[in-house]
Chain A
Amino acid sequence: MSTQSASQLLISPSMDEQPESQSRLMRRLHRGNAIATSVLWLITMLVAAVFIAIILNLIWTGLPTLFSVNFYGTGPSGIAPELFNTFYILILTEIFLFPISLGAAIYLAEYAHQGRLTTIIHFAAETLAGVPSLVLGMFGFLVFSSDAHLSISRIAGALTLLCLNFPLALRLFEDALNRVPLDLREGSLALGATRWRTIRTIVLPSALPGLITGLILTAGKIIGEAAALLFTMGLFNPANVFTLDPTLASDTLTTRLYYIKGVGAGATGLNSVQETALAAGISAILIVLLLLINLAARVIGRLVQRKLTAA
């Protein structure tokens, strides 16, 4: 008897001092607990299995295409222009996005007092984050492409992506700045440095790993975005696609994928088997890019931890 656990003793019917009804309640509760626990296990395993199956399926079906040489060429089944455009638009967007959202984050984290203005800015950020990317794409078409006469171009696409990713970048950067311990700032200010000098020499260097993580995570969003680019960057490439001209219309990996399988199916100059192989290849390369981005963000995130625990 001594090896039995307390709960087994409690529900054991042989115990005389336990009334029958109480032990039945115990048994019911433990049965409920066991059922609920196994249901939760099942649900989680189901969700995880679906996630894993999808990622593996995408990589597996795209693998043959990933290893063919034509895939990286400029022909109808090549993605060289789209790969170039994707990284071009990524860098062009970050050139706008990083300084502006970092500036806004610095204002919120370092200057602003908790008050009406910060509430309004946070509300604006949440609202903008909730605007569907398709609607932001239409807004970009109206404002940047039409009203600002940028037409359908990379710069119009980059400005639209700036609006789309501003709230996310702001949140990530604000979190990174808020993780810098307060006493570092106080020490600098007590030594007579101005606020700007404190930010420049103390806060930003300490927050650097967090800022880089934020930069990488927004890069993942930019690479994966398609709906906002449909009307601002178009679905086609000009002949001189490998130039840095920001006024060119161009497609990216994601919009190309949408074109192949959506509006342009049958019009790509490929047969449907080739189209499917190309689509599988683009999907796989997007997933691989995503995995690399995630890995990079994780490695740098670990650096933050080491830095903070060392400080």
Chain B
Amino acid sequence: MHYSQRARLSDQIARIIFFLCAIFLIVVIVAVIAFISSKAFNVFFEHGGTPLKTFFTIDNWDPTGENDPSGNAVPTFGAFGLILGSVVTTLGAMIIVTPLSLGTAVFFTEMAPKWLVSFLKPLLEIFTGVPSVVIGVLGLTVLVPFLTRLAAPLTGNLPTAGYGWGAAILVLIIMVLPTTLSIAIDALHAVPGSVREASLALGSTRWQMMRKAIIPAAASGLGTAVVLGMARAIGETLAVALVLQGNSLPQKLFSLAALFQPNVNITMVIARDFGETSGIAQDAYWTLAFVLLVISFIFICISRYLASRSVYK
């Protein structure tokens, strides 16, 4: 074969291979959505399942029927408590993470002296990679005993006090903060220096410059940071699972003590029980996985919408 022909042929082959690699990414995400949604609705239609309404409104998660009081092992599929657990811990963590990460990000980009930046940046990068199970074990060995003592007057010295939403929220803060913080820092770095200079030249103090010029200019990027942090928080598994360790919502849900009693969320029950189930009980866990998938997909869409609105990228 002529040299140039051979070169053109190998060029074509390489192009096709690279194209297939890129398409593989789309195949994976489509497969994830297709396979999980194909399993997600079985529990509503199969014999022994549950109607859609009770799945989302009743707090009694017992797909294998092992806790059935009548002893007949009748399963119940009430995921309300699990979903509430995920929502409460995520929101609770984000309420604290948002001001902390935005404040730190503003300090980091606008005020921090150079030596401090060169120290904080690697620290942040290292911390972003700390495995979630390590944080969970640390929560279990350090945080939970501390909360047990702290909450003793609230819970009447229950031995299991300390586990629960309070500990989960604190652990989630540690897990989510690095993610949110680094995206927020990127968003603030994207604001050009001329915005700062213009604001300062008009006589603003430094704080006025941050509050009236920089933060509004980076608002959608900062919004993206918070939303992606929420996506991370709702899917966070092992760190949270280790410090929740409950079977249902606590008795008195609307009290401060409820934060310090063993509790539930979606990811914990999946991690703990999914591997030992089969049949209709396993289908219930697929529905939970689908709920997680939908929630995180919504978060991704919101973050994309916010990113598309941002002026500086």
B32–A55 contact, CB under 8 A?
no
Q: Given A132-B296, A196-B10, A107–B18 Cβ distance below 8 Å?
A: yes
A108 to B112, CA, bound (A): 36
A120, B234: Cβ atoms closer than 8 Å: no
Across-interface contacts of A166 in B (CB, < 8 A): 24-25, 28
A130: min CB distance to chain B, Å: 4
C-alpha spacing A151/B175, complex, angstroms? 31
Q: Are B18 and A51 in contact (CB under 8 A)?
A: no
Contact A227 B271, CB 8 Å, known A33-B208, A107-B21, A221-B129: yes
Interface segment out of the listed B54-62, B70-78, B138-146 = B138-146
* B contact residues, range: 35 or more
Residue ID in chain B nearest A167 by CB atoms: B25
Per the bound structure, the CA–CA distance linking A32 and B210 in Å amounts to 12
> Are A135 and B133 in touch, CB under 8 angstroms?
no
The interface stretch among B102-110, B153-161, B191-199 is: B102-110
Beta-carbon contact of B242 and A139 below 8 Å: no
Across the two chains, which residue of chain B brings its CB closest to A293? Answer: B129
CB <8 Å contact, B292 and A29: no
B311 contacts chain A at the CB level, 8 A cutoff: no
Known: A33-B208, A130-B297, A258-B238. A111 touches B138 (CB 8 A): no
Do the beta carbons of A40 and B134 come within 8 Å of each other? Answer: no
Q: Does A220 contact B (CB under 8 A)?
A: yes
| Distance between Cα atoms of A279 and B133 in the complex (Å) | 10
Measured between beta carbons, the chain B residues less than 8 angstroms from A195 are 11, 14-15
Contact indicator B21/A257 (Cβ below 8 Å): no
- A47, B104: Cβ atoms closer than 8 Å: yes
A63 within 8 A of B: no
- Residue B216 CB within 8 A of the other chain: no
A163 touches B129 (CB 8 A): no
Question: What residues of chain A lie closer than 8 Å to B286, measured between beta carbons?
Answer: 138
Q: Contact between A58 and B133 (Cβ–Cβ < 8 Å)?
A: no
The stretch that binds A, out of B44-52, B118-126, B252-260, is B118-126
Residues of chain B lying within 8 A (CB to CB) of residue A142: 35-36, 39
- Residue A112, interface by CB 8 Å: yes
Interface presence of B177 (CB below 8 A): yes
Q: Nearest Cβ distance between residue B298 and chain A, in whole angstroms? A: 10
Contact mask for chain B residues 12-44; partner A; CB cutoff 8 A; 1 contact, 0 none: 001101111110111011111001100100000
Q: In angstroms, how far is the closest chain B Cβ from the Cβ of A23?
A: 14
Q: A49-72: contact bitstring with B at CB < 8 Å (1 yes, 0 no)?
A: 011101101100000000000000
Which A residues have a C-beta under 8 Å from some C-beta of B? 29-30, 32-33, 36-37, 39-41, 43-44, 46-48, 50-52, 54-55, 57-58, 99-104, 106-108, 110-112, 120-121, 123-128, 130-136, 138-139, 142-143, 163, 166-167, 170, 194-197, 199, 220-221, 223-227, 230-231, 254-255, 257-258, 261-263, 276, 279-280, 283, 286-287, 290-291, 293-294, 298
Q: Which 5 A-B pairs have the closest CB atoms?
A: A132-B235, A103-B21, A224-B131, A107-B18, A33-B205
Of listed A52, A112, A231, A283, residue having the most chain B CB within 10 A: A283
Beyond A37-B111, A166-B25, A254-B238, list 7 extra A-B contacts (CB 8 Å): A37-B206, A54-B135, A55-B126, A120-B26, A138-B36, A195-B11, A226-B131
Smallest CB–CB gap between A283 and chain B, Å? 5
Q: Is B136 part of the binding interface, using a Cβ–Cβ cutoff of 8 Å? A: yes
Cross-chain contact A196 with B174 (CB below 8 angstroms): no
Once A44-B107, A121-B25 are accepted as A-B contacts, the answer to whether A130 and B130 lie under 8 Å apart by CB is no
- B107 A134 Cβ-Cβ under 8 A: no
The digit string for B281-303, where 1 denotes a CB below 8 A from any CB of A, is 00001100100110011011001
Q: What CA separation (Å) do A107 and B16 show in the bound complex?
A: 9
Q: Which residues of B contact A163 (CB under 8 A)?
A: 28, 32
Write the nearest CB–CB distance from A197 to chain B, whole angstroms: 7
How distant is B44 from chain A, measured CB to nearest CB, in Å? 18
Which of A54, A128, A166, A262 is the most central at the interface, judged by chain B CB atoms within 10 Å of its CB? Answer: A262
Given contacts A29-B205, A132-B234, contact A231 B274 (CB under 8 A): yes
Which chain B residues (206-242) contact chain A, with CB distance < 8 Å? Answer: 206-208, 210-211, 228, 231, 234-238, 241-242
Knowing A131-B296, A138-B274, the reply to whether A103 touches B18 (Cβ < 8 A) is yes
The answer on a CB contact under 8 Å between B8 and A194 is yes
Q: Give min CB distance, B34 to chain A, whole Å.
A: 10
- Say how far B107's CB is from chain A's closest CB, in angstroms: 4
Q: Measured between C-beta atoms, what is the minimum distance from B295 to chain A in Å?
A: 9
- Residues of chain B contacted by A43 (CB below 8 angstroms): 99-100, 103-104, 107
Task: Please tell me if the beta carbons of B15 and A134 are within 8 angstroms of each other in the complex.
Answer: no
- Asked if B18 contacts A104 (CB within 8 A), the reply is yes
Q: How far apart sit A106 and B22, CA to CA, in the bound complex (Å)? A: 9
Nearest chain B residue, comparing its CB with the CB of A126: B300
Check B133 against A257 for contact (C-beta < 8 Å).
Answer: yes
Asked whether B131 lies within 8 Å of A107 as measured between CB atoms, the reply is no
Q: Which residues of A contact B28 (CB under 8 A)?
A: 124, 128, 163, 166
Determine the distance from Cα of A106 to Cα of B230 in the docked complex, in whole angstroms.
31
The answer to whether A258 touches B242, judged by C-beta atoms less than 8 angstroms apart, is yes
| A40-B25 contact in complex given A33-B206, A276-B141, C-beta closer than 8 Å | no
The answer on a CB contact under 8 Å between A121 and B26 is: yes
B104 touches A127 (CB 8 A): no
26 pairs, A vs B, C-beta closer than 8 Å: A33-B208, A40-B107, A51-B127, A55-B130, A58-B134, A111-B19, A112-B22, A121-B22, A124-B25, A130-B231, A131-B29, A132-B234, A135-B289, A138-B270, A139-B31, A163-B28, A195-B15, A196-B7, A197-B7, A226-B131, A226-B133, A227-B271, A258-B136, A262-B242, A290-B129, A293-B129
